[in-house]
Amino acid sequence: MSSQDALGCLKTLENCLWEAACAIRGPVDASKYKDYILPLLLRKP
């Protein structure tokens, strides 16, 4: 796989993940989304 192909795959993956995050977030404003996601990321096991 050439570096151009790898870069193209990375951009495609990035776009898919971004669209999935937007679909999950739904009507919640992006600035308010951090109130939901940060506690999940910073939670201690």
Assigned token pair, 16: 């898919």
Q: pTM of the prediction?
A: 0.50
Structure confidence at residue 1 (pLDDT): 62
Rounded to whole angstroms, the Cα distance separating 34 from 20 reads 16
Q: Tens digits of per-residue pLDDT, 1-45?
A: 677 787 788 899 999 998 988 888 777 777 787 787 888 888 876
Contact criterion met (CB below 8 Å) for 20 and 28: no
